[in-house]
Chains A and B, each alone.
Chain A
Amino acid sequence: MLELRQITRAYELGGERAGVFAVSLEVPKGCLAVLAGPSGSGKTTLLQLAGLLDVPDEGEVRLDGEAVSALSEKARCDLRLRKLGFVFQAFNLVPVLSALENVMLPLQLQGVTDEEARRRAGSALERVGLADRRHHRPDQLSGGQQQRAAIARALAPDPLLVLADEPTASLDHAHGGPLMDLMAELAQERGVTFLVASHDPSVISRAHRVFRLRDGKLIGEEVAR
């Protein structure tokens, strides 16, 4: 489903060379994969490259068998809109929109009618247990609820791949665990592929596959039994 081939992306950070170097990995469909490693190991950089938010210096990103990292900016935008979903550490909902409107947004950007977008967004919110909070603005939701809304927004357009950057970092243990359970269920039920960057053991413990990174290099891969 997702394949990274010899990906390198280097940049200067505090006078030192940082980034990811010659990383290759493969995530099959319906898998909850985790990029694990300490801060500065290159998890977020790799996630951004896999999510087509950045372009590698070398190597190739393949999605569903197609090389996508060298596509034009416009084509990558279009691909992100139609095939990818994102969940960020700081929730990052659009503050002026309600939970429902936030989830409707990517659908409306795809050109889905308001009525259909409302139906699909409502259904996504229901799936993450936020049906009764759909008309609340982000500042009226708790951290866990905001992250659930962000997952609903990522899932509503039926993406092939959802990329999540430290999704539990801003949540306490009581909220983080159930959120990861939800992702694991979605991966199993709907065949959605998740690539999660995290160093949270509760996230790693729920993963189907773990890629361990250190200093921008892949140092190990574990597959859950």
Chain B
Amino acid sequence: MILARLALRNLMRQRRRTALTLMVVVAGFLALSLAGGFMAQTFQGLADAAIRGGLGHLQVMPKDSMEGDEAQSLEKALPDGEALAARLREDPAVMEVLPRIQFMGLLSSGAKSVAFLGTAVNPVLEPRFMACTEALKGGIQASGGTGSQWLSADSAAREVILGVGLARALGATVGSSLTLMSTTRDGALNAVDVEVAGLQDLGLRELNDRFLTVSLATADQLLDAGAARSRLSVVLRRPEHTAAEQARLQVLLPETFVKPWFELASFYRQVKLLYFAIFGFMGLVLFLVVLLATANTLLMSVMERVREFGILRAMGLQPGQLLFLLQWEGALLGLMGSVLGLAATLLLRTGLNVLHLQMPAPPGTSHGYELNIHFVPGVYALVAVGLQMTIQVSALFPGLKAARLRIVEALRHV
């Protein structure tokens, strides 16, 4: 421990220089840990959007659903989806199963027709587990969206909820009458008159321009679906066990594909990769800055203490112990920097979150979000370890220089 004490005293000897180096380490810690908190917020937001946007934690789908497109509605479907859903609901790990039908066709106002992508959902279960009503609130802000409400639970009701872009293209507002056209499972053309119950803003312009939602009963009438369902969205009781439950349910349902949400949410995966690339590069630059700053400090310190190192070596200190002394100095710099960096991070994080800053809409999306930098101890630990390793590496060169000094030359050094 004598070397540790000596290292601490040496750092305290040049307080201003040590403080400047510490500032670099603290700035590095702050930048990386705030970036980590911001990434965590983004990933959490995208994960929630994917899961509560309709995917659920798991999706059960027909085996051939990932290959090619459907020539007609429900060509690739779970033939008795409702029975499968009922079976899954009995599983203790499953909280709820939301059957869905995906279909396409034309939506006509009489004067104009627009192609759509439709999803049919259970109007009772959907608002309980998915964020559909939140998207509805966004639609209210669009022109003609006033009075938007969710689909009626009455199976006889023929209602539709339109993406705001789709409604704009057709000049439709809440209460407008439109005609849905599609092909049944047998390939026959069919049409159903529907009333616009609401407009929804799904956050992505491309979706808003094409997307509509109807009840399963309406879709059944349009597509002659019977018990067939395109997919089942499974909501788990313990979302953290998604991967394990996916593997278990896949064994139970070999005739289907059971996919976790993170394999299907391509936007989530792309953003994650992009963020890792951007922040990874930023981290690399910051680590390099810390490496150079600490190496410079320690090297200057070595150059100023050549004679002192000569004395220590003359007293019997082994070259390796000098290397170790410099490693201790680096270790203490890293430790102090991380502790101060953590304190600064927590302070700044709280300050930024209290300000309720509005972030601009990310590319491809239609609305911004509130900045809420997450508390992520794992990231703080990772940053601290990364910085510590960087500083230890930076202390190697000055340490080796000190260890290789010839004693007689060091003693002559002025």
Interface residues of chain A, those whose CB is within 8 Å of chain B, are 48, 51, 53-54, 73-74, 77-82, 84, 86, 88, 90, 92, 94-97, 105-106, 108-110
Contact = CB atoms under 8 A, between A and B. Distances in A.
B408 interface: yes
A82 B318 CA distance: 13
Contacts of A74: 318
24 contacts: A48-B408, A53-B408, A53-B411, A77-B313, A77-B318, A77-B319, A79-B316, A80-B314, A80-B315, A81-B315, A81-B316, A82-B316, A84-B316, A88-B411, A92-B308, A94-B6, A94-B311, A95-B13, A96-B6, A96-B9, A96-B10, A97-B6, A108-B2, A109-B316
A97 B7 CA distance: 11
B12 A96 contact: yes
Contacts of B411: 48, 53, 88
Contacts of A108: 2
B63 to A, nearest CB: 69
A51 B407 CA distance: 11
Given A88-B411, A96-B10, 15 more contacts: A48-B407, A54-B407, A77-B313, A77-B317, A80-B314, A81-B316, A86-B315, A92-B311, A94-B308, A95-B13, A96-B6, A96-B12, A96-B13, A109-B315, A109-B317
B312 interface: yes
Q: Interface extent on B, as a size class?
A: 20 to 34
A79 B315 CA distance: 10
A94 B316 contact: no
A150 B317 CA distance: 17
Contacts of A94: 6, 308, 311-312
A35 to B, nearest CB: 16
Contact of B2 (A54, A80, A95, A109): A109
A96 B18 CA distance: 15
Contacts, number: 61
A113 B208 CA distance: 76
A155 to B, nearest CB: 13
Interface in B276-295: none
B315 A78 contact: no
Interface of B: 2, 6, 9-10, 12-13, 307-308, 311-319, 321, 407-408, 411
A52 B317 CA distance: 13
State the 8 A-B residue pairs at the shortest beta-carbon distance, nearest first: A81-B316, A96-B9, A80-B316, A108-B2, A53-B407, A92-B311, A77-B318, A54-B408
Contacts of A73: 319
Given A53-B408, A95-B13, A96-B10, A106 B316 contact: yes
B308 A78 contact: no
A176 B56 CA distance: 89
Given A48-B408, A53-B411, A97-B9, A92 B307 contact: yes
B314 A95 contact: no
A95 B10 CA distance: 9
Contacts of B6: 94, 96-97
Contacts of B316: 77-82, 84, 106, 109-110
Contacts of B13: 95-96
B319 A95 contact: no
Nearest to A150: B311
Given A74-B318, A96-B12, A105 B407 contact: no
Nearest to B308: A94
Contacts of A78: 316
A109 B314 CA distance: 12
A96 B307 CA distance: 14
Contact of A86 (B12, B314, B318): B314
Given A94-B6, A96-B12, A88 B315 contact: no
A95 B308 contact: yes
A96 B2 CA distance: 13
B315 A106 contact: yes
Chain B CB count within 10 A is highest, among A79, A106, A109, for A109
A162 B109 CA distance: 106
Nearest to A53: B407
Contacts of A81: 315-317
Nearest to A153: B315
A53 B317 CA distance: 12
A115 to B, nearest CB: 13
